[in-house]
Amino acid sequence: MEIVGYGVLADEEPLLRNAFDKTFEGRHELRCLGLFLDRDTAPTALGHEVVLSSVNDTLDAEVLRTLAEGGTRMIAQRSTGYNNIDLTAAEACGLSVARVSSYSPYSVAEFAWMLALAVNRRIVRAAHRTREFDFRLDGLLGRDLHGRIAGVMGTGKIGAAFARIAHGFGMRLLGWDLSENPDCLALGMEYVPRERLLAEADLVSLHVPLSPDTHHLLDSKALALMKDDAILVNSSRGGLVDTDALLETLRAGRLCGVGLDVYEEEAGVFFRDKSLEVMTDERLARLMTFSNVLITSHQAYFTEEAVGQIARTTVANIEDHLAGRAGDNTLVTPRKA
């Protein structure tokens, strides 16, 4: 059987093929495509029982119907998030859906800290200057993070890893979540209401999943609570931050720095080469104009360890499907006739 993967990145493909070869030993073939799955490309999955999707694919009701009509029976999402998949439509179409419920939390936590440190110490601007042999320090003044307050919104595995690094910097920890993580409490984290965290934190890092309840978690009211010189980092999901509200905040001269690895309208932009095109997304283009904003294209998870684990878990999910069983990562099990 041939299995097709969409949105497979060049550095991801060898790890994905290695996981396939070790598990299936030639029983199933893997076809890797760089194109993303959407309404235009869904017909290319014709005849493939299993489809591997990525976080920036669009699996709405129309796409899922096209896949089901073409013989697809399983969607294996190569990410933890699955807000791009209409699970209700998938169930109605008789499709099973699985995801990668967890992978190396250090990949995202370490990257979130890279963003925080880069905007705090003006690393990108400094690097550009020195490449031009401009060795002045004007405009590069940063701040010690030791002794300051880190606000961690979402204290699951990734948030806890972020908190441990903050603790290593000697920062005081404030947390916000539905439940308290004992590992974070052991670090001295104090769980507080969202409003207090935003008002007191010098650094706010987002590590909550995107859901209807967390959509635009940081809207204009929430951003107004933050200190004028606070740092904001989002390495979770773009929809957690209201981009229009963030732009207004930045235009008002507020926030010391913003590090974004995700963007709420990133689908169709991130993971693609847009360098020879006109950027039609005006909000993204405006964000790029602020010298204290650093944007990367959803690469926080992109380490050998994390991508390798994602590949292995994806293969395990396929094994569960072929064996007719639901695993821990199964999101949708087809209705029995």
Catalytic residues: 237, 266, 298
Burial class (CB in 10 A: 0-12, 13-18, 19+), 139: exposed
Cβ-proximal residues to 188 (8 Å cutoff; 6+ apart), any chain: 167, 172, 173
